[in-house]
Amino acid sequence: MQTLHASKCGLSTTQLPSYILDVIDSLTKAGYEAYIVGGGVRDLMLGLTPKDFDAVTNATPAQIKEVFGRRCRIIGRRFELAHVYSGRELIEVATFRAPPKKSVTSAAGMILRDNNWGTIEQDFVRRDFSINAMYYQPRKGVVLDFCNAIDDIQTKTLRLLGDPKLRFEEDPVRMLRTLRFAAKLNFSIDPEILKVFTPEATLLLRDVSPHRLYDESQKLFTMGHLNRVLPMLIEFGIWQQLFAEVPAEINQFIERAARNTDQRIQVGKTINPAFFYAVLLWEQFLARCDIYAAKGVVAAEARAQAGLDVLKRQATRTIIPRFAETFIREVWEMQTRLLNPKPQQIELLSNHARFRAGFDFMLLREKSGDESTQGMGSWWDNYQNMSMDEKERVIGQYNRQRNKSRRKSNAVVEDVTESKVSSMIEPLVKESESRSRRPRKPAPSQPYENKRSNPAHARVESGTIHADHPILKRKRVKRDLNSVVFGPTQ
Ligand code: ATP
Ligand code: MG
């Protein structure tokens, strides 16, 4: 173990937010050891701005709770730790851990429970990378380095502590962390890791909960170097484990969206990780729509069902939270609305809660060479910057063109019918369509529903739609066009 002077590592308390000093000071005052550890120390030493600060102590979660009282909540089962609130900030405070007991690992070597308290010397070997295992005591102005991590910082090397094969078996998520840190810090991966980081090893990720994998995928999307990590995900075979149905190739749309995401983060704009999921799964969604369309399903219904299908399949790998799923389906549905808006609803649409995301998505499609947007991405882009007079003029122009093309396709509709619905935009996604996570009780009259809610049938094979599927009963019928209200979704 070597004790480094914090000041020689470029560290000083002035760089630290008051909330982390508050946590360290409170624990010290109560008689415990307390350090800042992990990404906060690593990033500061590399001259980067840390995302957050994690603390570690010899106090057990119950003792941490005693120190902070109602400001503290103990969370986690597999990995118990304390969440301490300081103002609006949340700080993770972990307790030093000793090696796990044999009885709490799975047959494949995965650690199922890791709540065996220990000393700082035992704790550092439990951490993943050397550069994440430096303990900074800001009041003493020291950094405890047990594994010569300072060398790895200087040579920009990502080195796992211990035997990499074993460390991946203990926790396969470390494979994703390897790629995340290599991309984020622009570090090279230690050859010892490369030796064992094979496509076979990535199969271990199948045993990781899809909830945890979603969290990790979010971190990958939001670290600011998505464009750099995507080819790495493919190269190391992680892509197939995370997005089983998405071909392992980065098309122009995905690449542009990744670059755009990184740029937004760079300039401090917010990003919604679900947006990138919408991009990744877009082609699958379109293919699924085509399958339903070929079966004669009404377009709006086909899109709704296709969206549910695609997200359901993705859930076998990463469980996207319900609100994010709704967001994704709304962005997809917006594509249809923006492509062919009712003239009376254009202004309303541009103020819709999902307009911005839908428009960004369409513009990205268009800029990456997708001609099916018919230039509407740029049209909306221009529209937003116009005065009211100009808006009225372009809407009139759009209306005339629209009627012309409709007459051409013999689908003449009285605009009077449209004005009746112009003050309202139909919901993009019907909440009743949301998939149920809890298995529903089988209803004998709905055989397809039973299948859907049975986890054994979670994987719907492409192109196989059950003959009883209610969607197939909704065939296109010849309608009296005078009594039909044509919306963009029909
Ligand atoms: P960042 O917060 O910038 O994403 P980080 O290194 O702080 O990076 P966290 O997930 O916040 O990552 O974890 C804090 C610390 O906990 C890590 O630095 C590492 O020491 C330890 N740690 C986290 N996940 C693991 C893991 N799967 N295996 C071993 N140690 C881990
Ligand atoms: Mg952290």
For residue 488, pLDDT beyond 50 = no
What phi and psi values does residue 465 have, to the nearest 5 degrees?
A: -110, 125
Nearest residue by C-alpha to atom 17 in ligand 1: 38
CA of 323 to the centre of ligand 1 (A): 27
Q: Assess whether the C-beta atom of 128 lies below 6 angstroms from ligand 1.
A: yes
The per-residue pLDDT for 437 is 52
Cβ of 54 closer than 6 Å to ligand 1, yes or no, is yes
Catalytic residue among 43, 54, 114, 123: 54
pLDDT tens digits along 48-92 = 999 899 999 999 999 999 999 999 999 987 788 999 999 889 999
DSSP 8-state code for residue 240:
H
Above 70 in pLDDT, residue 461? no
CB 5 within 8 A of CB 100: no
**pLDDT tens for each residue of 355-407:** 999 999 999 999 999 999 999 999 999 998 988 889 889 898 888 888 887 77
Q: Which of 404-413, 442-451, 458-467 has the lowest mean pLDDT?
A: 442-451
- Distance of CA 93 from the midpoint of ligand 1 (Å): 12
Q: Which atom of ligand 1 is nearest to the CA of 177?
A: 27
Higher-confidence residue of 178 and 389: namely 178
Tell me the C-alpha to C-alpha distance, in Å, between residue 200 and each of 34, 207, 249: 40, 13, 19
Percent of the chain with pLDDT over 70: 83
For residue 116, what pLDDT is reported?
82
Q: What is the mean pLDDT of the chain?
A: 85
d(CA 282, CA 274): 12
- Quick: pLDDT tens for 219-231: 999 999 999 999 9
pLDDT at 155 over 60: yes
Give tens-digit pLDDT for 421-450: 455 767 777 765 555 555 444 444 433 333
Of the chain, the end-to-end C-alpha distance in Å amounts to 70
For position 106, what pLDDT does the model report? 75
Counting ligands in written order, the one closest to the CA of 127 is 1
Our answer on whether the CB atom of 39 is closer than 6 Å to any ligand 1 atom is: yes
Nearest CA to ligand 1 atom 30: 127
CA of 140 to the centre of ligand 2 (A): 22
Out of 22, 52, 360, 415, which one is annotated catalytic?
52
Residue whose CA lies nearest to ligand 1 atom number 12 = 39
Q: What is the pLDDT of residue 238?
A: 97
What pLDDT is recorded for position 487? Answer: 37
Q: What is the pTM of this model?
A: 0.82
The stretch 410-422 carries a mean pLDDT of 46
Question: For residues 437 and 312, is the Cβ–Cβ distance under 8 A?
Answer: no
* pLDDT score recorded for residue 450: 36
Which atom of ligand 1 sits closest to the CA of residue 50? Answer: 3
Annotation marks residue 309 as catalytic:
no
Assigned token pair, 265: 């983060």
The predicted pLDDT at position 101 comes to 72
Select from 128, 180, 187 the residue to mutate for testing ligand 1; criterion: most ligand atoms less than 8 Å from CB. Answer: 128
Q: 454 versus 211: which is more confidently predicted?
A: 211
* Per-residue confidence (pLDDT) for residue 428, from 0 to 100: 76
**Residue 120's closest CA among 131, 133, 104, 138?**
133
Q: Quick: pLDDT tens for 238-254.
A: 999 999 889 999 999 99
Check whether 237 has a pLDDT greater than 80. Answer: yes
Q: Is 78 in the pocket of ligand 1 (CB under 6 A)?
A: no
The mean pLDDT of 137-164, rounded to a whole number, is 97
The whole-angstrom separation of Cα 147 and Cα 143 is: 12
pLDDT average, residue stretch 108-126: 84
Place 105 in a pLDDT band, splitting at 50, 70 and 90.
confident
Helical segments of 103-161, H only: 120-126, 149-155
pLDDT over 70 at 459, yes or no: no
Percent of the chain residues topping a pLDDT of 90? 68
Write down the pLDDT at residue 431.
65
The answer to whether the CB of 175 falls within 8 A of the CB of 202 is yes
Residue nearest to atom 26 of ligand 1 (CA): 128
| pLDDT score at 423 | 59
SS3 74: strand
Atom of ligand 1 nearest to the CA of 42: 6
Give the Cα separation of 111 and 381 in Å (integer).
51
Domains of the chain: 1-155 (3.30.460.10)
Residue whose tokens read 């103990």: 74
Residue 89 CB coordination number (10 Å): 15
Judge whether residue 304 has pLDDT over 80. Answer: yes
Say whether 54 is catalytic.
yes
